[in-house]
Amino acid sequence: MKKLAISFAVGAASLLSMGAAMTIPTTAQAQPVVIQVAPPPPRAERVPPPRRGYVWAPGHYEWKRGHHVWVRGTYVRARPGYAYRAPEWRENNGRWEYNRGRWDRDGDGVPNRYDNRPNNPNRN
């Protein structure tokens, strides 16, 4: 009986440690990346032939572990009714902000979570 209790405790501890590894992103992780180092010029890459039901997500640089890392382009499954916005770096007063790729319902460039009228197809 004692061995069963010990093995149960070990199993429960390992399940808890696995659960800790699968945490939900915190608010700090969701913050945009803002740095003072400009990204290198984009690399030239060959875009493969179009694929039905997919959208091309071009290659781009991401900021990882203190330096820019190139991420190759790939096809992502299309979302009917949404426009794909590729990842981009924007300079603002000497600081560079990275905006991740995203889907936008009305194609106006404003992420739906910040858009007061996210489904307005007539917006310019």
Give, for all 124 residues of the chain, the pLDDT tens digit. 555 444 444 444 444 444 433 334 444 445 678 999 999 999 999 999 999 999 999 999 999 999 999 999 999 999 988 889 999 999 999 999 999 988 887 766 666 667 766 666 565 5
Whole-prediction pTM value? 0.61
Rounded CA-CA distance 124/108 in Å is 7
The domain locations on the chain are 34-40+52-124
Rounded CA-CA distance 39/98 in Å is 10
Which three-class secondary structure state does DSSP give residue 101?
Answer: coil
Q: How far is CA 83 from CA 18, 33, 110, in A?
A: 37, 23, 11
CA 120 to the chain's CA centroid: 24
